């Protein structure tokens, strides 16, 4: 072809910088019924900070075998105070 210039294109993949992963624990999680809030210090390890009526746990109950599939992140605000 007369008068046609050919240009070459270079393509490069630039990997994204890995963002430091935010530690998952410690965190607050709530039960699916929202009647239970646990302070988790590790997977399956936590202490009850709020237990509504009809919940078989009380404030301060500590467990190392919580079923993590029952909990979702707690997005609210939890107020703790002395009597």
Residue ranges covered by each domain of the chain: 27-67
In this predicted structure, what is the pLDDT of residue 18? 78
How far is CA 66 from its chain centroid?
15
Per-residue pLDDT averaged across 10-34, rounded? Answer: 84
Tell me, what's the pLDDT at 5? 74
Strands ordered across the beta sheet of 36-42: 62-63, 45-51, 36-42, 27-31, 71-73
Q: How far apart are CA 34 and CA 70, in angstroms?
A: 10
Is residue 65 very low, low, confident or very high in pLDDT (cuts 50, 70, 90)? very high
The pTM of the whole model exceeds 0.75? no
Does residue 1 have a pLDDT over 60?
no
């Amino acid at each position: 072809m007369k008068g046609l210039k050919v240009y070459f294109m270079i393509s490069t993949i630039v990997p994204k910088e890995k963002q430091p992963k935010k530690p998952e624990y410690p965190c607050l999680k709530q039960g699916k019924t929202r009647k239970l809030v646990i302070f988790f210090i590790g997977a399956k390890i936590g202490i009850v900070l709020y237990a509504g009526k009809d919940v078989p746990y009380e404030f301060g109950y500590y467990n190392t075998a919580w079923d993590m599939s029952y909990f979702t992140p707690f997005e609210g605000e939890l107020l703790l105070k002395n009597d």
